[in-house]
Amino acid sequence: MELREALGRRRSIRFVRPYKTVEPEKIQMMFEAARIASHWGNVQSLGAVAVFKESAPKEVIESLEAVIVGWQIRVAPVVIVWFVNPNMVDEQSDRLRQLLDVGALGFGTKDERKDALETQLIPVFEGIKESLKEPGLNEIDCGQGIAQATLMAYELGLGTCCLGSPFGDRMLSALGVPDGCRFLLLQTVGYPAEHWEAGGQRPRQEFGRLFKMNHFSNDFPRSEEVVSELKKDKMFTRPAPLPEREEELAYLQKALGIEPPGLL
């Protein structure tokens, strides 16, 4: 699938088939996509545990809990628990040395580059190491990894939905994730029970409200030609609500045994 089409098809899929498990190889592909995502200093602080309902211990499955539209956890055959491990920052100097060794960092001869790294760059990072473990930059990079995994899932015909949860610490502890890691997100994964359009492209903020050119007072000019090209490439799809959505929702609710209004 072309990137533009994949971006257009990515949608939060809340209704998946509970009876059809997801092959571990497909979850592996999601993780492979996450692993090659960009991360400051090549630190790689993103980690995850994939919980397979068919094989995980009962207490692990029972520990998974979200608040907003939490019934998705009951329905999904696989739930990924994403976390950030800030202690990976401790290995940052070595990650930089690796980058230098493979020619991804710096100019000059290899010896000159090595010297600059050891005497200039590494001391700077060492000085601010503890602050780099605080919430911020790492989480942004984890988001990039999760986004790549999500696109991979869609390319594989899977549906996913990210779920926040106030019970992160409890879940990480039940999963045996090392101390110091911070919970990020749950992500349900399964084969979609709903049509891929899932009621249509969800509404978004006006383009110009979000993006600017040269100064905050100037909305970024939105070319209609570009919009048409992206429509043609299937990145922009039919906007929600689609005419058949209410009937589709009623059907899905019945099929999956979800109690109305199904928001918790």
Ligand X SMILES: Cc1cc2nc3c(=O)[nH]c(=O)nc-3n(C[C@H](O)[C@H](O)[C@H](O)COP(=O)(O)O)c2cc1C
Residues near ligand X (CB under 6 A): 11-12, 66, 68-69, 161-164, 185, 202
| Minimum distance, C-beta of residue 66 to ligand X, in the bound complex (Å) | 5
Nearer to ligand X, 96 or 185 (CB): 185
Amino acid at 135: P
| Minimum distance, C-beta of residue 186 to ligand X, in the bound complex (Å) | 8
List the beta bridge partners of residue 159: 190
| Minimum distance, C-beta of residue 12 to ligand X, in the bound complex (Å) | 3
Query: What's the CA gap between 262 and 72, in Å, rounded?
Result: 10
Nearer to ligand X, 34 or 100 (CB): 34
| Minimum distance, C-beta of residue 84 to ligand X, in the bound complex (Å) | 13
Strands (E), the chain: 46-52, 78-84, 159-163, 182-190, 212-213, 215-219
| Minimum distance, C-beta of residue 150 to ligand X, in the bound complex (Å) | 9
Nearer to ligand X, 106 or 199 (CB): 199
DSSP state at residue 239: B
Nearer to ligand X, 43 or 146 (CB): 146
Nearer to ligand X, 96 or 256 (CB): 256
Query: What own/partner pairs with CB < 8 Å and gap ≥ 24 does 112-121 have?
Result: 121/96
DSSP three-state, residue 201: strand
Let me know: does 65 contact 167? Beta carbons within 8 Å: yes
Let me know: does 15 contact 252? Beta carbons within 8 Å: yes
| Minimum distance, C-beta of residue 97 to ligand X, in the bound complex (Å) | 33
Nearer to ligand X, 44 or 188 (CB): 188
Secondary element (H or E) of residue 223: none
| Minimum distance, C-beta of residue 65 to ligand X, in the bound complex (Å) | 11
Nearer to ligand X, 84 or 185 (CB): 185
Query: What's the CA gap between 108 and 63, in Å, rounded?
Result: 53
Nearer to ligand X, 8 or 41 (CB): 8
Q: Work out the number of other CB atoms within 10 angstroms of the CB of residue 229.
A: 13
Terminal Cα-to-Cα distance of the chain (whole angstroms): 34
| Minimum distance, C-beta of residue 187 to ligand X, in the bound complex (Å) | 9
How many angstroms from the chain centroid is the CA of residue 162?
Answer: 7
Query: What's the CA gap between 171 and 176, in Å, rounded?
Result: 9
The full length of the chain comes to: 264
